[in-house]
Amino acid sequence: MQEFDYIFGIHAVSTLLKRRPKDISRLLIARGRRDPRMQELMQLAQSKHLRWEETTKEELDRLVEGVHQGVVACCELTPEKGEGDLVDLLDAIEGPPFLLVLDGVTDPHNLGACLRTADAAGVHLVIVPKDKSAPLNATARKVACGAADAVPVVRVTNLARTLRELQERGIWLVGTTGDVEATIYEVDLKGPLALVMGAEEKGMRRLTREHCDLLAQIPMHGEVSSLNVSVATGVCLFEAVRQRRGMQS
């Protein structure tokens, strides 16, 4: 039996319309909302030969939990990518691979925020463990603002084994933790790279940490001892972007 999910929010639904219009079975729009952003979404739907249904804000509130911005799409779920897809995805990358590994991020809001940042930074794909990891649900997709359909998310059964396979391909694994001296600004992030981020409270699991080639910290200068994982991910990814642009210039 085919599974469905509700995707909501202007950015998330617009990206869905651009990338996977055939997967949308119903498009619901709040009655009376005709501002420029909604008009643009409706024109996009029309260009994809998709009709929308008008309904009440209360009906949309009943369908989803979160700020839907007046639009909800009933979408056919695509199968998640797994170990079997990883080789093909890696082979398709042009230039030095730029990957993000999230170990133990269980909050869909944080997963969505990390995906949004990964997309902005030009990450080729995101790897997460099958267990103890947030689902790529409607909440994550809404926070990701369309990035969930732009950046492949690969869910693997054995993260340690996957990290070894990345190393065998010559991909450098840089993990982040607060108990080392080297900072993320002192580490070479220009070549084939997988940035490994751990959960907010516990950080990376022991096996994940042991498989990293190098560990680095984000220097903290105030009273706060750590950052939200999505914020920390942004700091580290864009330091890598800065270095990699310098390499290309």
Q: What is the CATH number of the domain that holds 149?
A: 3.40.1280.10
Spatial CA neighbour of 11 closest among 118, 114, 112: 112
Among 25, 45, 76, where does a domain finish?
76
Q: Strands (DSSP E) along 17-70, which ranges?
A: 24-30, 53-55
Among 23, 55, 76, where does a domain finish?
76
Q: Are residues 162 and 104 in the same domain?
A: yes
Q: Are residues 92 and 168 in the same domain?
A: yes
pLDDT at 129: 95
Spatial distance between the Cα atoms of 3 and 41, rounded to a whole number of angstroms = 25
CA 130 to chain CA centroid, Å, is 15
Mean pLDDT score of the chain: 89
* Count of domains forming the chain: 2
pLDDT at 246: 60
- Given pLDDT bands bounded at 50, 70 and 90, which one contains residue 5? confident
Q: Amino acid identity, residue 66?
A: G
Q: Are residues 135 and 163 in the same domain?
A: yes
pLDDT at 100: 98
Q: Are residues 54 and 112 in the same domain?
A: no
The total number of residues written for the chain in this structure: 249
**Do 207 and 160 contact (CB within 8 A), yes or no?**
yes
Q: Is the pLDDT of residue 239 over 80?
A: yes
Q: Amino acid identity, residue 206?
A: R
Q: Is the pLDDT of residue 201 over 80?
A: no
Packed helices 10-19 and 36-47: angle between N→C axes, nearest 10 degrees? 20
CATH number of the CATH domain containing 60:
3.30.1330.30
Q: Are residues 63 and 149 in the same domain?
A: no
Spatial distance between the Cα atoms of 236 and 104, rounded to a whole number of angstroms = 17
DSSP string computed for 186-240: TS--SSSEEEEEEBTTTBS-HHHHHH-SEEEB----SS-----HHHHHHHHHHHH
- For 6, the enclosing helix (H) or strand (E) is strand 4-8
Among 44, 76, 108, where does a domain finish?
76
Spatial distance between the Cα atoms of 196 and 162, rounded to a whole number of angstroms = 12
Q: Are residues 108 and 173 in the same domain?
A: yes
pTM for the model stands at 0.80
Q: Are residues 120 and 213 in the same domain?
A: yes
Q: Strands (DSSP E) along 41-187, which ranges?
A: 53-55, 71-76, 98-103, 125-129, 153-156, 172-176
Q: Are residues 62 and 99 in the same domain?
A: no
Spatial CA neighbour of 144 closest among 112, 183, 190: 112
Longest Cα–Cα distance in the chain? 57
138-185 pLDDT per residue, tens: 788 878 877 887 899 999 999 999 999 999 999 999 999 888 889 999
Range of the domain at 235: 83-248
**What Rg value do the Cα atoms of the chain yield, rounded?**
19
